[in-house]
Structures are given as structure tokens and as C-alpha cells.
């Protein structure tokens, strides 16, 4: 066959491919335009009335987005309202004692979010006169603000066409555009971030990003998407291909490491009657600076040996107590650790040491002082009486003291159960 004949045969095929590519591009463009149009129509009609949506205040939007990380909207609303009432401006948040900020966050978990939020507020006061910056590089420079949060602030508060890609958004995009890449991989998130600006209609960045999040939260849900009422179902390629329940593709995260813990709920006696002993965690690391029951990590194979270790912790502080007995078992999962906490209960018995001292003729001394001055603070509503040389790390607290110091959820639940049962 001559070269001329070969070229004549190839030419129609090339034209056909070019035509198909053009048709495909037109269909893709129509699909994108349809998605953006119908999504906004639905959002304008159906959006939820949320407290941070009632104002375009960048501070409110920022606080809400930090709270909403790993937390459901219904859970966040009362926390948001209390937080804004206590810290109505960035300046108020920046100047507050950190313990007050963490206390207002108590129950939301992931407490580094609260500490980073305050650190960023202090940055804003120092560098931007207390006003949230609207420049991309300045928002990204704030403590605890990553690509998603920065995009949410810039788009929702300042209507800038920036992507805000979270789990809800990745799920919607994966299904609608039939994206089969693993959303757990950073490159997939980056690719989706690059898609978003072309989808945002001019002047509607704020509403579009909120609509995308809303669709993922209410309709395009993880396990049971409500396709029949979805505003963009007609062109959703995942639904058309019958893959809506298989998408998005996501590799399973590593299971949290299990840890066995043994804690003691030590009840006070005498002047400390009605109080229990707690300690403060280190200023860095997991649950930094929060309060907890004294506890230790244990192997869990021999309860007798585990109890001995826990008793040594108390003995080091000059404490004596009645025999320990089981109180309850509680569990809590962090992002990388799962705690199973066995809690024992005992009653302080300082008279036992005094009796031993009398029998031996050695003056009675204890590392649990009467805390001169600290008892007065406790009586006046401060955070309880000091224990040991470092009164900041160990305290006897009452139910009332729990209103002013912050506990992780695990210990908050244990102590609430104890004090509520005591009052019953």
C-alpha cells in the first residue's frame, strides 16, 4: 500500500478521535457548569441556619472551622456559642489565661486546637492589630492553620476563590467526577484543590464552598448517600456507574495502639472530705496541662503488681489510704492510642501515718501539707488545696472546682459519675 493511501486511511481516524475529544471536553464543561449551578440553587434553598453563618465575621468563621475538625455540627453549636460569649473578639481570646481557653474547649477533644487557636490570636494581635488578615500568605502563617482552614477563611469570610477541601468535599468530588484515586494520599487532595477554582462561579466563592461541604454532610454521606434527592445526581458519574458506595477510595488508617492504664480515685478525709486527688499533666505532649486522676501505664497481666506500682506513686507523696477496690472501667480513643482505664477507689487515711509515728517515736511528717494559704484559696472558690511541694501539679478538688479547671473527656466522665453518685 502506498504512503498516500495509508495517510488517507489514517486521516478519518484522527478526525474521529479529535471529534470525540472535543465532544468529551464539551460534555465535561457542561457537567462542571451543571454541578456548580445546581449545587448553588440547592444551597440557597436548603442551607442550615448555623450561628457562624449569621455573620460574615472572619473570627467567628475561623473558630467554627477549627471546632468542626473531627467534630459534628450538632456537637459544635453549643460550644461555639459559649466560646464566642466568653471570648467575643480576637483580642479577648489572645489575652485570656490559657487554662480558661482550654476549659471552654473541654469536651471537644483534640485540645491542641484550642492552644493553637489562642497562639494564632496572639499573632493576629501582634502583627495585624487584632484583625483577621485577608492575604493568603498571612492566613497560612497563623499557628494551627493548614490548607483547608486557610481556604475556608479566605473563601467564606472574604469571598476569595480559594479551595477548602476536607473529607466531605473529597467524597463529593470523588463520586461526581468518578475519581478513583486514594483520598488518603496528599497528591489526591492537591489535585482536588486545583479543580475547585474552575468550579467556583464568579462572586460566589463563599456560598460555593459552604454548599460543597453541606452536600457532603447532609446528602452525599459516607455510607448511605441519598442519591435520589441529590441536586447533582443527573450527571454524577459515580452514581451512573453504580460506584457511589465504593467511592471515595481510601486506605484504612493504622489502628490506634492499645494501652492498659490503672487509675485511682482517692477520696480525701478530714478537712479534705468531699474532695478527690487529681494531678496536672506536663505542659507539652498529649493532653498538655490538663488535669486527670493519678494513673499509670500497666501490662494488665497481673493486677496485684499493677496495684503495687500505683501505690508507690501515692506513697512517694506521703499518702496513706484504705484498701483499694474496683470502681469502674472506662475507654477512650485518641488518634493514635486507645486507653482502657481501670479505676480503683480508696479513702485517704492520714491517721495511719500518725499512728505509726507515735508507735516508733519518730515525729510525724508527710508530703501532704495542710497547704497554708491554699486551703483559704479553696474556701474562696479557687481550684482546690495543694498537695506536695508542687501545688500546681497535684490538688484536692471538689465538684465546684471542676467548673474552673479543664479535664479530658475520659476523666471528666469518671469524675462527673463519681460526684453525681455522691449527691444521689
Distance CA 397, CA 384 (A): 5
Distance CA 303, CA 362 (A): 34
Q: Which CATH number fits domain 257-423: 3.30.70.141, 3.10.20.30, 3.40.50.720, 3.90.79.10?
A: 3.90.79.10
Query: Residue 364 pLDDT > 80, yes or no?
Result: no
Give the range with max mean pLDDT: 6-15, 132-141, 275-284: 132-141
Q: Which CATH number fits domain 46-240: 1.10.10.10, 1.10.340.30, 3.40.605.10, 1.10.3720.10?
A: 1.10.340.30
Catalytic residue (one of 38, 65, 267, 301) = 65
Alpha helices in 147-259 (DSSP H): 147-152, 167-176, 186-199, 205-218, 237-240
Give the alpha-carbon dihedral of 71, 77, 80, 85, to 10 degrees.
-160
Query: Residue 303 pLDDT > 90, yes or no?
Result: no
pLDDT tens by residue, 157-192: 999 999 999 999 999 999 999 999 999 999 999 999
Query: Residue 417 pLDDT > 70, yes or no?
Result: yes
The answer to whether 97 and 109 have CB atoms below 8 angstroms apart is no
Known active-site residue 9: no
- Pick the range with the lowest mean pLDDT from 135-139, 304-308, 323-327: 304-308
Q: Per DSSP, what are the bridge partners of residue 296?
A: 262
pLDDT tens by residue, 78-108: 999 999 999 999 999 999 999 999 999 999 9
Distance CA 233, CA 369 (A): 70
pLDDT tens by residue, 199-216: 999 999 999 999 999 999
Q: Per DSSP, what are the bridge partners of residue 386?
A: 395
Q: Is the dihedral of CA 81, 85, 90, 95 positive or negative?
A: negative
Sorted by where each begins, the domain ranges of the chain are: 46-240, 257-423
Distance CA 52, CA 177 (A): 30
- Return phi, psi of residue 254, to 5°: -65, 135
Distance CA 215, CA 41 (A): 12
Distance CA 397, CA 404 (A): 11
pLDDT tens by residue, 4-54: 555 555 555 554 454 455 444 556 788 999 999 999 999 999 999 999 999
Average pLDDT, the chain: 85
Query: Residue 369 pLDDT > 90, yes or no?
Result: no
Q: What is the pTM of this model?
A: 0.78
Residue 254 vs residue 74, higher pLDDT: 74
Give Cα separations from 115 to 57, 146, 407 (angstroms). Answer: 21, 15, 14
Amino acid at each position: 500500500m502506498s504512503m498516500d493511501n495509508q495517510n488517507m486511511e489514517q486521516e478519518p481516524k484522527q478526525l474521529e478521535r479529535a471529534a470525540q475529544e472535543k465532544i468529551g471536553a464539551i460534555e465535561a464543561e457542561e457537567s462542571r457548569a451543571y454541578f456548580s449551578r445546581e449545587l448553588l440553587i440547592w444551597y440557597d434553598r436548603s442551607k442550615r441556619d448555623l450561628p457562624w453563618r449569621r455573620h460574615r465575621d472572619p473570627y467567628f468563621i475561623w473558630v467554627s472551622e477549627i471546632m468542626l475538625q473531627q467534630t459534628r455540627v450538632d456537637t459544635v453549636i453549643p460550644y461555639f456559642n459559649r466560646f464566642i460569649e466568653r471570648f467575643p473578639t480576637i483580642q479577648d481570646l489572645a489575652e485570656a489565661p490559657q487554662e480558661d481557653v482550654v476549659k471552654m474547649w473541654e469536651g471537644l477533644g483534640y485540645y491542641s486546637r484550642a492552644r493553637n487557636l489562642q497562639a494564632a490570636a496572639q499573632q493576629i494581635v501582634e502583627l495585624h492589630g487584632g484583625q483577621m488578615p485577608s492575604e493568603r500568605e498571612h492566613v497560612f502563617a497563623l499557628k494551627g492553620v493548614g490548607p483547608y482552614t486557610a481556604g475556608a477563611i479566605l473563601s467564606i469570610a472574604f469571598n476569595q476563590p480559594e479551595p477548602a477541601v476536607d473529607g466531605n468535599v473529597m467524597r463529593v468530588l470523588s463520586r461526581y467526577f468518578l475519581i478513583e484515586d486514594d483520598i488518603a494520599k496528599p497528591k489526591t487532595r492537591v489535585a482536588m484543590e486545583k479543580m475547585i477554582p474552575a468550579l467556583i462561579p464568579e462572586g460566589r466563592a463563599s456560598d460555593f464552598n459552604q454548599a460543597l461541604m453541606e452536600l457532603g454532610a447532609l446528602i452525599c454521606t459516607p455510607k448511605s448517600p441519598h442519591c435520589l434527592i441529590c441536586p447533582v445526581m443527573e450527571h454524577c458519574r459515580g452514581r451512573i456507574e453504580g460506584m457511589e458506595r465504593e467511592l471515595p477510595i481510601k486506605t484504612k488508617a493504622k489502628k490506634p495502639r492499645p494501652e492498659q492504664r490503672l487509675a485511682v480515685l482517692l477520696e480525701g478525709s478530714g478537712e479534705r472530705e468531699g474532695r478527690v486527688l487529681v494531678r496536672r499533666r506536663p505542659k507539652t505532649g498529649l493532653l498538655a496541662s490538663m488535669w486527670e486522676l493519678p494513673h499509670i501505664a500497666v501490662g494488665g497481666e497481673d493486677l496485684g503488681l499493677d496495684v503495687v506500682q500505683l501505690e508507690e506513686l501515692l506513697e512517694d507523696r506521703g499518702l496513706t489510704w484504705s484498701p483499694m477496690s474496683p470502681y469502674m472501667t472506662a475507654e477512650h480513643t485518641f488518634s493514635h492510642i486507645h486507653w482502657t482505664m481501670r479505676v480503683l477507689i480508696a479513702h485517704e487515711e492520714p491517721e495511719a501515718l500518725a499512728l505509726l509515728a507515735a508507735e516508733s517515736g519518730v515525729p510525724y511528717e508527710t508530703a501532704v501539707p495542710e497547704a497554708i494559704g491554699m486551703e483559704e484559696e479553696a474556701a474562696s472558690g479557687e481550684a482546690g488545696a495543694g498537695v506536695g511541694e508542687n501545688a500546681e501539679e497535684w490538688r484536692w478538688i471538689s465538684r465546684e472546682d471542676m467548673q474552673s479547671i479543664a479535664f479530658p473527656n475520659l476523666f471528666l466522665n469518671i469524675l462527673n459519675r463519681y460526684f453525681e453518685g455522691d449527691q444521689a
